[in-house]
Amino acid sequence: MLSTRTRRRAWTAGLVTVVAATLGVAMSTQFAHAQTTLRDSADAIGKDIGVAVDVNKLQNDASYRNLVATEFNSLTAENAMKWNATEPSQGQFTFAGGDAIVDFAQQNDQSVHGHTLVWHSQTPSWVQNLSAAQMQSAMQNHITTVMDHYEGDVATWDVVNEVVSDSNGALRDSFWLQRLGEGYIAQAFQYARAADPNADLYINDYSIEAIGAKSDRIYTIAQGLANQDLVDGVGLQSHLILGQVPSTMEANLQRFVDLGLKVRITELDIRIPMPADGNELAQQKADFQRVTELCADLVDCSGVTVWGLRDVDSWVPDVFPGEGAPLLFDDNYNPKPAYDGVLAALGGTPGGGNPSTPGETTSPPPAGDGCTATLSVASQWGAGATYSATVTAGQSLSGWKVTWTWPGSERISNAWSIEGALSGQAVTASNAGYNGTLSAGQSTSFGFNITKSEGSTASLPAVTCTPA
């Protein structure tokens, strides 16, 4: 199938407009700005903005789901695609967790970055106890089976993870190295290339953001793999310490790109000694902005993924006691200063839109009952357009319905985060399974693509929103 990633990328070529129209239940017309999100901003410059997600929270927490769907265009499974999750016993593959993430991503038109195929951690003991020949064959079978399963759905993979140690750029003394020798790295990439020739294959590691012994070793390995056309990119995890974005990071990214490779910031977080004060949060904003700008400014940087949604979701406090608050959202889903830093680096506008534009106001929350829906044209091109839409609840809702009628030949070709009778001139749509429950004042979003007559301007029909 054509991956969602490819489709989403195609839209970003269109003209971004900030025209928005709102019509509430009382049929009073207002004009509103499109809220600027990380996702909209990243789409507009052709970058991935990703988040590592936890399957249980995705399945059980509506606020978590909404924010993941609204703010990010790429997902990484924080744990669900690792070996201990996908092949806990030899030859017994379980894809339920990873599949749930892929399904969610497809419903929300997000791409999925695969993490990870060969690692020394979170790999079952049955693998570690195999003989060399058995281990090589288990590695081949694992890579092949997992990549075959996700072929067409997962377009990029961390093939090997953390193969270099922290001491002077030596290879990590893992069971892989001990049993198979250093050839296991190229072997893993060969199996991955054969399994899905269309996937982009990454070598991923931490503490390789600066130029130094460890990144030099990754450089040498990547160069060798690139010479055999076995690798497409270098993933820099970027688990950073506050105030320590390396001064050599830009040059480091550039040298990988100069090998003909992509780069990607795969696991960004920036930890703070706890409790974090205002100055530290401001420094964190500057650090997040800097890292994101480095990627935004580099054509061959495919994107930035943050390693968790809220501070409370992060692995950091468990591993670095006394440190934390390393992500973009606080424990109550509120954006932190760092969020504005990333948004600015992606070219977005903190606060959403320009309030001084004549004829437009920021849409107030609907007073009283019901809900309002706002349509906006995110981008348009000759015979098509992409719309984004926001539904805001004026009361607590367990579901909502939106209707409108196209003035001309516009028709929806595909949609995300809504369901219903979408393809005709009269559109009647309801919330998707996960975004119907809203508290008063809360918003959620949906979107769709249309076809339209060549060269026409995408119209903004009046939308009615009613509780369902």
Q: Is 419 part of the annotated catalytic residue set?
A: no
Nearer to ligand 9MR (CB atom), residue 221 or residue 415 = 221
Helices marked H in 129-235 — which ranges? 132-150, 175-180, 183-195, 213-227
Binding residue for ligand 9MR, selected from 40, 48, 71, 78, defined by CB under 6 A: 78
Q: Which of 78, 267, 280, 360 is catalytic?
A: 267
Angle at 98 between CA 97 and CA 104, to 5 degrees: 95
Binding residue for ligand 9MR, selected from 22, 36, 156, 237, defined by CB under 6 A: 237
Q: What is the rounded CA–CA span in Å between residue 166 and residue 172?
A: 8
Q: Is 79 among the residues that bind ligand 9MR (CB under 6 A)?
A: yes
Q: Is 121 among the residues that bind ligand 9MR (CB under 6 A)?
A: yes
Q: What is the rounded CA–CA span in Å between residue 437 and residue 252?
A: 46
Size of the site for ligand 9MR (CB under 6 A): 9
Q: To the nearest whole angstrom, how small is the minimum distance from the Cβ of residue 121 to ligand 9MR?
A: 5
Q: To the nearest whole angstrom, how small is the minimum distance from the Cβ of residue 407 to ligand 9MR?
A: 49
Binding residue for ligand 9MR, selected from 40, 43, 267, 311, defined by CB under 6 A: 267
Residues 128-167 that bind ligand 9MR (CB under 6 A): 161
Nearer to ligand 9MR (CB atom), residue 43 or residue 78 = 78
Q: Which of 125, 158, 84 is nearest to 307 (CA)?
A: 158
Per DSSP, the three-state class of 293 is helix
Q: To the nearest whole angstrom, how small is the minimum distance from the Cβ of residue 386 to ligand 9MR?
A: 32
Nearer to ligand 9MR (CB atom), residue 79 or residue 428 = 79
Q: What is the rounded CA–CA span in Å between residue 101 and residue 88?
A: 19
Q: Is 315 among the residues that bind ligand 9MR (CB under 6 A)?
A: yes
Give strand pairing partners of 53: 77
Helices 337-345 and 278-296: crossing angle in degrees, nearest 10, is 20
Helix %, strand %, coil % for the chain, to 5?
A: 30, 30, 40
Q: Which of 290, 294, 292, 234 is nearest to 264 (CA)?
A: 234
Binding residue for ligand 9MR, selected from 28, 122, 220, 362, defined by CB under 6 A: 122
Q: To the nearest whole angstrom, how small is the minimum distance from the Cβ of residue 78 to ligand 9MR?
A: 5
What is the number of helices (H) and of strands (E) in the chain? Answer: 15, 20
Residues tagged active-site = 267
Report the interface residues with ligand 9MR, using CB under 6 A: 78-79, 121-122, 161, 206, 237, 267, 315
